[in-house]
Amino acid sequence: MKSVKLGLLGVGTVGASTALVLKNNAAEIARRAGRSIEIIQASRRAISAGMPQGSGDIELTEDPFDVVNNPDVDIVIELIGGYEPALDLVMQAIANGKHVVTANKALIALHGNEIFLAAQQKGVNVVFEAAVAGGIPIIKAIREGLSANHIESVAGIINGTGNFILTEMRDKGRNFADVLAEAQALGYAEADPSFDVDGIDAAHKLCILSSIAFGIPLQFDAVYTEGISGVSTEDVIYADQLGYRIKHLGVARRTDKGIEMRVHPTLIPEKRLIANVDGVMNAVLVHADKLGPSLYYGAGAGADPTASAVIADIIDVARTITTDAENRVPHLAFQPDQIVDIPILPITEVHTAYYLRMRVDDRPGVMAEITRIMGENNISIEAMLQKEPEAGVTQATIIMLTQKIREQQMDDAIYSIAGLETVHGDVHRIRVETLDGD
């Protein structure tokens, strides 16, 4: 049977690992795909020293468009990242009738709707398992393994850098800035770490997971996004005393009013499995109506785990190259004419519980004022800690956990509490998720 020929765009660490695995595991891959798979051309841009020996038969080119325009290439592997020139290259590959495998979550989250429409019209596949949670096959699990289920919610630790920082803060009592500097030195975070610590990377991934789970268009701009730079060592310690862990969580949930899509620091009960996912590891918890909860855990980044997902996609495409386009697995799990535009809820309409931390004057009557405001906004207090001040200090720290309420109620209460003369500085808020299916 004719071999499947690949064109590779972007030969950095992931591209080099992909080439190496394709070479070293060629026989096993051919057994699974039903035909041999080989890279015949690669873009010369950023060629890595990690390319396997014996790669001299791979034609190298200065211009990546040579790859997407090569008539002998069946599948284009896009590992450049970012928006440009990746979008132009992918759209040109589709126009040329080529299938595309990509690990580019930003590209899919922002431009996936137009990419998938073009692919549908040309009868080609665009697959992207490596775009979310590295080597964890979460897209395949939701899109295929859970296809008999009504997905109720998806919650995930889907950025390893943020998880590493919060783990170090909890285990070693270090502050955010120090751990971030170490994460950069270890290569977990970029010189500009904003995509990781501000939640943008996780929001890209959550946008994709939401579309696959609920059959809605990709809507990155609708994801509420909050980073972890405001989480203090104090918050981590107080959360632990209350029986919680702080994780940077992506949450997508179906409600009667619409879909929640949000990324933010979250308190999770320490007994939950996902609360014990530490370091740079990723995990995604899916609640489905028939299966119930299922947890997917593994390496969310790195050359080999990402290459594992890339090659799994290549094998899937190789298996379906001769399949009629109408009988392939849909890009976003649902048939294109069944994608529905369910409203995305603004963060003010989300219902969740809250952790609050505030500095107040250490004198009688202060708590009465605060609890009065909470009561006026119909907010019930679940638990409270008061840290007595040291000798000579006139302010105390108060920690509160509330029951589940609408975010607008919490906004109104915080506004009133922060306006009290007896409250000093910001009222710090972190959302709480029990993740028990309620």
Q: Which two tokens stand for residue 349?
A: 């309409």
Q: Hey, how many other C-beta atoms are within 10 angstroms of the C-beta on 142?
A: 24
Q: Is 23 a catalytic residue?
A: no
| Cα 138 from Cα 83, distance rounded (Å) | 23
Model pTM above 0.95: no
Domains of the chain, first to last? 4-135+303-338 (3.40.50.720), 138-299 (3.30.360.10), 352-432 (3.30.70.260)
Q: Which two tokens stand for residue 21?
A: 């695995």
pLDDT at 54: 55
pLDDT at 46: 46
Report whether 236 contacts 170 (CB < 8 A). yes
Residue from 108, 94, 32 nearest 308 by CA: 32
In 300-422, DSSP assigns E strands to 351-361, 381-387, 395-402, 405-406
Q: Give the DSSP letter of residue 327.
A: G
pLDDT at 49: 45
Residue from 309, 267, 227 nearest 435 by CA: 267
Report whether 79 contacts 18 (CB < 8 A). yes
Q: Crossing angle of helices 233-241/160-172, nearest 10°?
A: 70
Radius of gyration of the chain (CA): 24
pLDDT along the chain (438 residues), means of 10: 92 89 93 92 64 68 94 96 94 98 96 96 95 94 95 97 96 95 89 94 97 96 97 95 97 97 98 96 97 95 91 92 71 81 95 97 92 96 86 86 97 97 96 83
Burial of 130 (0-12, 13-18, 19+ CB in 10 A): buried
Q: Which of 105, 140, 205, 247 is catalytic?
A: 205
Report whether 402 contacts 384 (CB < 8 A). no
Cis bond before residue 330 (omega within 30° of 0): no
E strand or H helix at 418, and its extent?
helix 407-418
In 203-325, DSSP assigns E strands to 224-225, 244-254, 259-269, 281-288, 292-299
Residue from 59, 436, 64 nearest 273 by CA: 436
Secondary structure (3-state) at 430: strand
